[in-house]
Chain A
């Protein structure tokens, strides 16, 4: 079956760095997405990886290893506003998104 695994919750300190991991098992692969979702709001797109390696976008970076079925989202210089859930989603061979349950990130001062 298809499966996305990511930690349920993580805690980090303001100004620090945090890495949120995601492992996936899907039938085929057409890319991996990361979304941010603040409580009570809709998800917003953060990043897309389809090739191995690191994609950097400001304070956020996303990494992909297709051979390991693994991705991570790296958040640097954490701010209180980064407190949110981070959703990993993998696009399978039918271009359908398979969603993880999300990682709730709590930022402490």
Chain B
């Protein structure tokens, strides 16, 4: 199994500012994902982070608001730009366990973001 770390673990930010969340994996992985989870809600996929190319965003999420970097196979960042209180959530990165498209995912510990 992959070991995933995220930084920061939590932050309180002011409206209008931006926060970059880092995700580090202890092994090279092909598929990395960024999710958002509101308290008591299901996971919502923001985007798939692709190494060497632009991230693939899900409906309702755009690159200007959530720019993603994937410089190599062990690291990715998600930036939450021009934050508003509606962006308060837990942000999780995950990786696919194997090369198969149907692999289970391992999750990082999450970043708890509060926007005031």
List A residues at the B interface (Cβ < 8 Å).
4, 30-31, 33, 41-45, 48, 50, 87, 89, 91, 95-97, 99-102, 104
Contacts and interface: CB of A to CB of B under 8 A. Distances in A.
8 A-B pairs with the lowest CB-CB distances in the bound complex, closest first = A42-B107, A95-B101, A99-B42, A45-B104, A101-B42, A99-B43, A30-B102, A31-B102
Contacts of A42: 92, 107-110
A30 B100 CA distance: 11
Given A87-B42, A102-B42, A45 B109 contact: no
Interface string B41-76: 111110000000000000000000000000000000
B42 A44 contact: no
Contact of B105 (A30, A50, A97, A102): A97
15 contacts: A4-B42, A41-B109, A45-B97, A45-B105, A48-B104, A87-B43, A89-B43, A91-B102, A95-B101, A95-B102, A97-B43, A97-B105, A101-B40, A101-B41, A102-B40
Contact of B45 (A33, A43, A87, A97): A97
Contacts of B102: 30-31, 48, 50, 91, 95
A4 B101 CA distance: 20
Contacts of A31: 102
B44 to A, nearest CB: 8
Nearest to B43: A99
Given A30-B102, A87-B42, 10 more contacts: A43-B107, A87-B43, A95-B102, A97-B43, A97-B45, A99-B43, A101-B40, A101-B41, A102-B40, A104-B40
Contacts of B104: 33, 45, 48
A86 B40 CA distance: 11
